Structure 1
């Protein structure tokens, strides 16, 4: 019997490995599916029944796409791949809740130098677990093998999600009022931003991700892989339980606290955030020290302990803070919104093409 040649495999693309990866991840993906998902896993396109939107008065779709950035280099160095998926979901789905939308479904994309089925399955299993935690169906994805462009152990991940919200329930600058309270919500650590600076600091210090250090109490990379906190489910519950209390949300991702908060403030408004209301986690202090930086130097790069911000009506601030903390999201009042003329020297004004409000951080961080 003559064995037929597989020129694609000879070129470095193993379709059989891709099929095995799908089999290994199938059960985890299926667990994110409810009655709205049609067709299961493996179709050319994912199908999602949106009949529920017919009950909306004026439904709007919200969409977001993102990746994990160079944090994947740490996962690759430690050969730990089941947490990076939560980072992806956090970066994508938590952007959707910022406008008040409920996420419906998500797709993912993994590019790699060589398909290692167990590794791909670990990544997608992490994505699926985070999708399940946020009520998001993982309806499809793609794994692309790029031999010659990526090294065998290299990969990158990206994803996109879609949600829905009533037009009159959209959160944002239009709802923000003078005197609104700014509530900071704690991050779990670095999340998925600023890792190019992290890598530079470690490289200059001669520290590898796999090194053990007394400062981190173990392997450096293990602390850096702490997954991105997921905010979607508690925030959606808050929006439902305390209607009209939240006027805007800001997801603190690339660019830091001030720039991301400025994006959701109306033009002509300003906020001073009081650093003394929180203490950045040790990971920020250690890395800043190793890099010869003050914490203030990194405010445009890292979240420094604040992963999400809620702008709420003054009379609802106490109830919102209590509800968030009770749901496992430590929250505290960090500032107030003022609308009116002010000397904006030292403020960050708008970001990402948005001509929003102005923000600056004042005071010193708590010890």
Structure 2
């Protein structure tokens, strides 16, 4: 049995770090800070023309998915991942992304490679409908290998205060709508690399698996889906009570962030199509099901929480936007965050 901890990622230590950071960060808060550390996006109240707006910001990186880009020498899509990880987070509060900045650190600056990476960032911004207004490129020889780089980003969006989504209206009987992912997205790659022994044998990335219909490397470099425009269209017509972006920590960490304590999300297995790549990872690495759901998105990249009366309308809008969606469960009273049955 292979676990995320075996791959060098200690989720529990990550939780501990966040708790320690919370108290440090709170010392800097002023009265305009609305959310605590740990929300999908950070919310800051802004007064504009006597109306109350909230700026919602988020920052993230691509993670060790970049190792796959290094091995494949393919750098045109990781920028989309970088944008997606940030804008999908602030979307969880109903915010429309306004602008984006990137940070690219490398061992040896190669202008054409940098341009290719940033072209992907720009493509992600176009998909999300926000502006790439700046960034920073740092050449750090001796810190990164010549052909290595790290990529992170920062997004700012805006939402009217009375339309901000924080899960406060979620009640028993509300429905979980799962939005299909494009693949592994941008988390869990330390476990993926360990399962397939990619670092020891990068050539395995060229292997074509019948289950996938393409090479492992091509599958793993599929860019993270950006949900901004489809979900904003839903928000124009439907009251969405909570939104969860399924990233690191999978179902168990992320879905409970979209509703208050005292409730539990009951997720029904078999209610959506688990993508073949996840079945392959589980089988190849002998990964337990619970570990899969606490590491990967399993084919569901985002979850919307709506009342029963709004399910059909929301799913119709998503379908028109080219997003497959599924009713994957319900909200019930209880404790424990998420139950998968």
* TM-score of the two chains, using structure 1 as the length reference: 0.77
Match of 1:211 in 2: 206
Task: Give SS of 2:286's match.
Answer: coil
Match of 1:224 in 2: 220
In the alignment, is the contact (CA less than 8 A) between 2:128 and 2:229 conserved in 1?
A: yes
In the alignment, is the contact (CA less than 8 A) between 2:99 and 2:156 conserved in 1?
A: yes
Instruction: Tell me the distance in 2 between the aligned counterparts of 1:109 and 1:204.
Output: 26
In the alignment, is the contact (CA less than 8 A) between 1:205 and 1:290 conserved in 2?
A: no
In the alignment, is the contact (CA less than 8 A) between 2:249 and 2:296 conserved in 1?
A: yes
The answer to whether 1:250 aligns with 2:241 is no
In the alignment, is the contact (CA less than 8 A) between 1:92 and 1:161 conserved in 2?
A: yes
The answer to whether 1:122 aligns with 2:101 is no
Question: For 1:126-275, what aligned pairs fall within 5 Å after superposition?
Answer: 126-203=120-197, 207-208=201-202, 209-215=204-210, 216-242=212-238, 245-275=239-269
Task: Give SS of 1:173's match.
Answer: coil
Match of 2:90 in 1: 96
In the alignment, is the contact (CA less than 8 A) between 2:198 and 2:205 conserved in 1?
A: no
The answer to whether 1:314 aligns with 2:308 is yes
Question: For 1:17-28, what aligned pairs fall within 5 Å after superposition?
Answer: none
Deviation of the 1:278 alpha carbon = 1.3
Task: Give SS of 1:263's match.
Answer: helix
Match of 2:338 in 1: 359
Instruction: Tell me the distance in 2 between the aligned counterparts of 1:99 and 1:327.
Output: 20
Question: For 1:333-344, what aligned pairs fall within 5 Å after superposition?
Answer: 333-339=327-333, 342=334, 344=335
Deviation of the 1:56 alpha carbon = 7.2
The CA RMSD over aligned residues, in Å, is 1.8
Deviation of the 1:158 alpha carbon = 0.3
In the alignment, is the contact (CA less than 8 A) between 2:255 and 2:338 conserved in 1?
A: yes
Match of 2:3 in 1: none
Residue 270 to residue 223, structure 1, CA distance change in 2 (3 Å): same
Aligned length: 294
Question: For 1:296-335, what aligned pairs fall within 5 Å after superposition?
Answer: 296-335=290-329
Task: Give SS of 2:270's match.
Answer: helix
Which structure 1 residue ranges, 5 or more long, are not aligned?
1-51, 348-357, 363-367
Instruction: Tell me the distance in 2 between the aligned counterparts of 1:154 and 1:129.
Output: 22
Task: Give SS of 1:58's match.
Answer: strand
Instruction: Tell me the distance in 2 between the aligned counterparts of 1:277 and 1:54.
Output: 44
Cα-to-partner distance string for 1:189-236 (whole Å, 9 max, x where unaligned): 100000000011111896525432334444321111011001011111
Deviation of the 1:55 alpha carbon = 5.4
Instruction: Tell me the distance in 2 between the aligned counterparts of 1:228 and 1:234.
Output: 15
Cα-to-partner distance string for 1:118-147 (whole Å, 9 max, x where unaligned): 111011000001101111110001110000
List structure 1 runs of 4+ shifted beyond 6 angstroms: none
In the alignment, is the contact (CA less than 8 A) between 2:60 and 2:86 conserved in 1?
A: yes
Deviation of the 1:173 alpha carbon = 2.0
